[in-house]
């Protein structure tokens, strides 16, 4: 059985993802001086197929804000969009982790910084495992070949992802997790 590659919008190449987005620019007030207040440097992205939105306005350059907004959009897509699988295997059936996941797991630990380009796709795969296993940390972690603690810590790096897992556990009448 070969490792599956995760098919998720958070993993699309930059140009392809931007083609699926409505991009707007604008001015925002606040600290940053005259340049920031008079020039359209804010970037607003809406992923049209899913309706997921992201924005960035804290930098003085539109190009820098576009990069930040794109990373935030990838994170938001990872949290809000689940990968579709034509046939969901039974909960206890192991689903091999993607090649990306396997390359980032060393000794049962997930090695990826939250600002790295791979983080959103890894987060999407982790959240897919949480959902596939109905919020059961032990089963989700086993399917990804990491410990439950590692999976929980990895997911908790992104506040919205962690809230999503806690809500999923609540729906399945499981106790909240602590990190």
Give the model's confidence band at 56: pLDDT under 50 very low, under 70 low, under 90 confident, else very high: very high
H-state helical runs in the chain: 14-19, 33-38, 62-80, 99-104, 119-132, 137-143, 148-156, 159-171
Q: What CATH number should be reported for the domain whose range is 11-80?
A: 3.30.160.20
pLDDT digits (tens, 9 = 90+) for 107-127: 878 999 999 999 999 999 999
| 172 phi, psi to nearest 5 deg | -100, 15
All structural domains of the chain with their residue ranges: 11-80, 99-171
Phi/psi at 54 (5° precision): -150, 155
What would the pLDDT profile of 66-97 be if each residue is shown by its tens digit? 999 999 999 999 999 998 654 455 555 566 78
Cα 158 to Cα 119: distance, rounded to the nearest angstrom: 10
CB 20 within 8 A of CB 70: no
In 3D, which of 7, 168, 1 has the Cα closest to residue 81?
7
Distance, in Å, from the CA atom of 142 to the CA atom of 145, rounded to the nearest integer, reads 5
Residue 15's pLDDT is what? 94
């Amino acid at each position: 059985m070969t490792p599956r590659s995760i098919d998720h919008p958070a993993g699309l190449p930059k140009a392809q993802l931007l083609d699926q987005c409505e991009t707007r620019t604008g001015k925002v007030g606040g600290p940053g001086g005259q340049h920031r207040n008079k020039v359209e440097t804010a970037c607003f992205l809406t992923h049209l197929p899913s309706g997921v939105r992201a924005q960035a306005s804290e930098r003085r350059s539109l190009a820098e804000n576009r990069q930040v907004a794109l990373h935030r959009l990838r994170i938001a897509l990872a949290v809000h969009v689940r990968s579709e699988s034509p046939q969901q295997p039974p909960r206890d059936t192991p689903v091999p982790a993607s090649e990306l996941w396997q390359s980032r797991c060393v000794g049962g630990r997930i090695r990826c910084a939250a600002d790295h380009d791979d983080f959103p796709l890894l987060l999407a795969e982790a959240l897919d495992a949480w959902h596939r296993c109905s919020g059961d940390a032990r089963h989700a972690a086993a399917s990804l070949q990491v410990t439950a603690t590692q999976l929980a810590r990895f997911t908790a790096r992104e506040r919205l992802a962690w809230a999503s897992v806690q809500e999923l556990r609540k729906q399945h009448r499981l106790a909240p997790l602590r990190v």
